[in-house]
Every structure is written in structure tokens, then in C-alpha cells.
Amino acid sequence: MASRSLSAVKFLENDDMDLEGGKLEKDRDKIIRSNKVVKIQNQALLSGLAYCISSCSMILVNKFVLSSYDFNAGISLMLYQNFISVVIVSVLSSLSLISTEPITWRLIKVWLPVNVIFVGMLVTSMFSLKYINVAMVTVLKNVTNVITAVGEMYLFKKHHDSRVWAALFLMIISAVSGGITDLSFHAVGYAWQIINCFLTASYSLTLRRVMDTAKQVTKSGNLNEFSMVLLNNTLSLPLGILLIFVFNEVDYLFTTPLLRMPDFWLVMTLSGFLGLAISFTSMWFLHQTGATTYSLVGSLNKIPLSVAGIVLFKVPTSLENSASILFGLLAGVFFARAKMQERSQS
């Protein structure tokens, strides 16, 4: 009896220990899982902030260089930024920190038409930003979505639902009303921005067709974001140099006192780093969240950017123009939501 009771006590003790051990294991698993969730949330938040800050800063710094410094060589600024991107990506690739596809003649021939549009898109963006305030640029860029949607319908036979078209209609209204009420309206700037919208939409539509062909001529059969950044920026250099001579920026570069100012070079170099930072942070944010969150945050990001542009550059505005800008920004958010719902249904 004594031995049985003793063994029973030992059994109960062991059972309690197993139960306690199981509880501890469960608690440990819960802590590990909660730590992982917190880590993922922190990564998503951090990547989102990095993306928003870099994209906003890039536009504001470009506006500062072109307007506040009154730098009249937008193509040269683009060329310098792209050169910085090529140098940094090449160094990171040589250190095996990132992987890039080797640039071959076959790949160049396939990619060149897209690159011409890419350069045109960047150049017209610089030209329009010099004359138009940041808030109106963000609203007018919504017109790109309208052109892209129409292009998708005719080229890829893609049909959009009524919510998407309603959002696009609101974007057109906001762009027109914003232009009419713009106190700092500049016809040249608006003309460049309209051309930019068509080129940006063309780049987006052409890229979809060229990407598949480009993958077939690469060694790995793939073309990641880093390879695209390196390819686009490398091919843009000779084309950019040609455009500097076409638009006669060479004479200006030899005479302007800005290039003898160290602080101006610092700001220009910062703009180059920010340009590349957008590529890195957008990939990081997209990886941490997804296309849905990425597109929505991109639309919401235009609101603080527009406010910062008006405040920092002391843009003269009216209640009607501010309402048009806000209407356009909200139309952009509505468009992002409509696209998300369209994707989920399809």
C-alpha cells in the first residue's frame, strides 16, 4: 500500500510536471508567435514610413532645386540623379548584396523603346515641376490613371467596373477645376504635365508587353526590380547627354554660378539618393504588405505631400483651389479603393 501510494504520488508529481511543462511550452509558443506578429507589424510600419518619406522628399527636393535655386537645367538634374543610381546599384551588385542581370545587346534592343518613354517621362516631370506647384502636380497626375484605364480597355480588352470609372470621372473634374482656380497657373507647366501624363501611361502600358520579352533574353529568365533600375538608368545616360545638347543646357551649365556652390551639389546628390531610395523602399514595403496596401498608402501619401508643398513653397491659393485639390486627392483614394475591390472580385 505504502509503495503504491508512493508511486501514485510520484505519478501525480510527474503528471503535474508534464502539465506545467506543456503549459510553459504553450506560453513560450504564444510569446514567440506574438513577437513574430509584432516584428512583422513593425517591419510593415517601418517600410511604409520609409516609402512615404522618400517619395515625398524626392518631389519636394526636386521642386526646391528647380524653383528655389532657379536651376534651369532639368535634364541635367535627371542625368545626375540617374548616374548616382547606376553607381550605387553597380557597387551593391559587385559586393553581392543585390542580384542584377547582366546588360546584353539583346536586352538593350528589347528594352530601348521603353527606356525612351522612361526618359521622356522623367524630363517632362522635371519641366512641369519647375512651373507648377506640388499640390497641383499631384492632382494632375491623376489624369495618368484615366489614360491608363482607357489604354487597358483598348490594348488588353480589360473592362473596369462602374466604381473605377466614377473615380476616374471625379479625377477629371478635380483636375479641370483645379486648373481653373489655380492662382499660379502657368500654361507651359500645364502643357508639360499633360505630356507627362501621356508618357507615364504609355510607360506603364508598354512595360507590361516588354517585360515578358525581356525575361526571355536574360540569362536567368527573370528581371527583378534592381535589374530594371540598373537597365533604365544606364540606358538613360547617353540619351540624357544627347537631350542636354538638343535643349541647349550646355551653355547654361557653363555660365550658372550654382555649380560652384557646394550646398547646391549636396542637395542635388541628396535628390539622387532619394530617387534610388524610392525604388528600394517601394520594394521593401510591397514585400512586407501587398499590392492592395501599397496602392492605398500611395494615394493617401499625396495628401501630406500636397500640404507640405503649399506650406514650404508659400504657394498662393484660394478656398476654391484648395477644395479642388482636396477633392482630387480624395478621388485618388476612392480610385485606389475601387481598384482593390475590382481585384478582389476578379
**Distance in Å from the first CA to the final CA of the chain:** 73
pLDDT at 81 over 80: yes
Closest alpha carbon to 43 in 324, 293, 298, 333: 293
315, containing H or E segment: none
**Per-residue confidence at 93, pLDDT binned at 50, 70, 90?**
very high
pLDDT at 277 over 50: yes
Q: Give the separation between CA 160 and CA 195, rounded to whole angstroms.
A: 24
* Tens digits of residue pLDDT in 183-220: 889 999 999 999 999 999 999 888 878 888 888 888 88
- Residue count (the chain): 346
**Per-residue confidence at 36, pLDDT binned at 50, 70, 90?**
very low
Whole-number pLDDT of residue 32: 47
What would the DSSP string read from start to end of 46-110? HHHHHHHHHHHHHHHHHHIIIIIS----HHHHHHHHHHHHHHHHHHHHHTTSS------HHHHHH
Which CA distances in Å does 150 have to 49, 165, 327, 337?
A: 32, 10, 22, 19
* Tens digits of residue pLDDT in 52-71: 899 899 999 999 999 999 99
pLDDT at 9 over 80: no
Whole-number pLDDT of residue 31: 46
Mean pLDDT over each residue of the chain, to the nearest integer: 84
Whole-number pLDDT of residue 284: 81
pLDDT at 7 over 50: no
* Tens digits of residue pLDDT in 222-268: 888 888 889 999 999 999 999 999 999 999 999 999 999 999 999 99
Mean pLDDT lowest for which of 3-12, 15-24, 294-303, 310-319?
Answer: 3-12
